[in-house]
Amino acid sequence: MITKQYIDDLKKEGNGAIGKLVKSQSDGGGITYILENLGYLPKDFDGSWLPALLEHKNKHVRLWATKTIGKLKDHTFIPYLEKTALEDEVTEIRREAVSSIGRQHSENSKKILYKILKDHDPKIVCQAIRALLVFKGTNDVDKKLKALIKHQNEVVTKVIYKEYFAKANEKKFDKPHTESYEYLKNVVVNDDVREVLKIIPNDSFHLTFTSPPYYNARDYSIYPSYKAYLDFLEEVFQLTYNKTKEGRFLIVNTSPIIIPRISRQHSSKRYPIPFDIHHFLSEMGWEFIDDIVWVKPEASVKNRVGGFMQHRKPLGYKPNSITEYLMVYRKQTSKLLDWNIRQYDQKIVEESKVKGEYESNNVWHIDPTFNKVHSAVFPIDLCKRVVEYYSYKGDLVFDPFGGSGTFGRTAKSLDRFFFLTEQDTKYFEYMKTNVKNDSLFNERKTQFLTISDFKKTISK
Ligand SMILES: C[S@@+](CC[C@H](N)C(=O)[O-])C[C@H]1O[C@@H](n2cnc3c(N)ncnc32)[C@H](O)[C@@H]1O
């Protein structure tokens, strides 16, 4: 039996013994095992038998042969790698060949990598960019790579932007990333969110979590048409984008809704709100991160399946809707999340760590909360998870559609500051009563302001 030790001993003999061993193998599995266990290769290693393996029918053999050639750093193998990079049918092997070409660090490898930049597969192009970036700072390479800013693929242009253009376009901010304006901390403003956002500075919020009005399904806000409703949300989320700090999150809680039929002669209409808002959020620069599904117990939702239960006729099937979405977005940036985290003191990072149990998947089972005054309040548990997973202690979090203030109260209980807007005076007044009854909400003074009072606090 061939063991790792045996392979290691043969390798050191430096007389082509490994090549002979490989040739004696009757199947791809044996060859792969040898190649996988070769490890570091001595300078005098004879790899002349390797190029033939690039044509082997077993893809694992081809992959490991490509990797092994990469280790040899022998430019005479470049033409074989080039052929594999351009022609192999397995993407992983093509990528490996590109990276092995890059490892040769020669003028010749540069020329081949330029050719590979024209590949039809963006993953291969990115691999060639990565290999060429080793030469960053040399005129010819920089010129070739910078030109890719016009490439049709978004991942390619993002990489090139970060490497060559991001620094020059870096914005200067009035406040350090972790800090926010005092007059925005623990404030509720009673007005249309759009009017309020227009008067606050850009780059103010660390996190926004909100549940927008459900088009015309509830009484608290009515729109003349679905289009008018979507236009309204587009304006709110564009303003929110401007007011959000670099690389921070927006989480939108929505679900498809149903507007009931006017009579038995007509049908009800269903509106896919999450799917209709996604495209404009993404267009304005909110980068899609995750879709979390909030699942409620079936007994807590409206029964739609009752009719079907009786008649059992196909086409008449209407399942009970027990889910809502939490769509998670991040404000576009060329910086990694690590950059955001590094802005905080070590102490804050430690204190903000999520302790104990946490949700490991994107299906969150949480009971809904019912409230006598407001018909669509967030459950506290939902807010807790969002605050803990997407913000740090001392951050300023925002809910444009404050409602009964659940998100603000929860954020405050977790040592974050909040800023809420709510246009309906009934709910604004209700929030005030909530404060009185809620010691946590009351701990640090909360200000309830009209927009004109709020303006005065800004100009102070
Ligand atoms: C789905 S509810 C949010 C409930 C909230 N998440 C809670 O836990 O109580 C949406 C809220 O947005 C408010 N709203 C609607 N249009 C608004 C606007 N233009 N500006 C501010 N608030 C608005 C409604 O009055 C309603 O209270």
Domain shared by 18 and 115, yes or no = yes
Q: What is the mean pLDDT of residues 429-447?
A: 72
Domain shared by 275 and 199, yes or no = yes
Q: Is the pLDDT of residue 436 over 80?
A: no
**Nearest-atom index, ligand 1, CA of 402:** 5
Instruction: Check which CATH number belongs to the domain holding 318 and give it.
Output: 3.40.50.150
**Nearest-atom index, ligand 1, CA of 220:** 25
Domain shared by 207 and 151, yes or no = no
Domain shared by 331 and 392, yes or no = yes
Give domain status of residue 386, yes or no: yes
Cα of 426 to ligand 1 centre, how many Å?
11
**Nearest-atom index, ligand 1, CA of 421:** 21
Q: What is the mean pLDDT of residues 439-447?
A: 66
**Nearest-atom index, ligand 1, CA of 236:** 19
Q: What is the mean pLDDT of the chain?
A: 93
As a three-state string, the secondary structure of the chain is CCCHHHHHHHHHHCCCHHHHHHHCCCCHHHHHHHHHCCCCCCCCCCCCCHHHHCCCCCHHHHHHHHHHHHHHCCHHHHHHHHHHHHHCCCHHHHHHHHHHHHHCCCHHHHHHHHHHCCCCCHHHHHHHHHHHHHHCCCHHHHHHHHHHHHCCCHHHHHHHHHHHHCCCCCCCCCCCCCCCCHHHCCEEEECCHHHHHHCCCCCCEEEEEECCCCCCCCCCCCCCCHHHHHHHHHHHHHHHHHHEEEEEEEEEEECCEEECCCCCCCCCEEECHHHHHHHHHHHCCEEEEEEEEEECCHHHCCCCCHHHHHHCCCCCCCCCCCEEEEEEEEECCCCCHHHHHHCCCHHHHHHHCCCCCCCCCCEEECCCCCCCCCCCCCCHHHHHHHHHHHCCCCCEEEECCCCCCHHHHHHHHCCCEEEEECCCHHHHHHHHHHHHHCHHHHHCCCEEEEHHHHHHHHHC
pLDDT digits over 340-399, tens only?
999 999 999 999 999 999 999 999 999 999 888 887 889 999 999 999 999 999 999 999
Of 208, 218, 220, best ligand 1 pocket probe by most atoms within 8 Å of the beta carbon: 220
Give domain status of residue 176, yes or no: no
pLDDT confidence bin for 45, thresholds 50/70/90? confident
pLDDT digits over 127-181, tens only?
999 999 999 999 999 999 999 999 999 999 999 999 999 999 888 898 999 999 9
Task: Provide the percentage of residues in the chain whose pLDDT is more than 70.
Answer: 97
Range of the domain at 291: 182-459
Cα of 354 to ligand 1 centre, how many Å?
29
Count of structural domains within the chain? 2
Domain shared by 248 and 363, yes or no = yes
Of 423, 426, 438, 454, best ligand 1 pocket probe by most atoms within 8 Å of the beta carbon: 423
Within 6 Å (CB) of ligand 1, which residues are found?
A: 192-193, 211, 213, 220-221, 374, 376-378, 401, 403-404, 406, 421-424, 427
Nearest CA to ligand 1 atom 19: 192
pLDDT digits over 274-285, tens only?
999 999 999 999
Give domain status of residue 177, yes or no: no
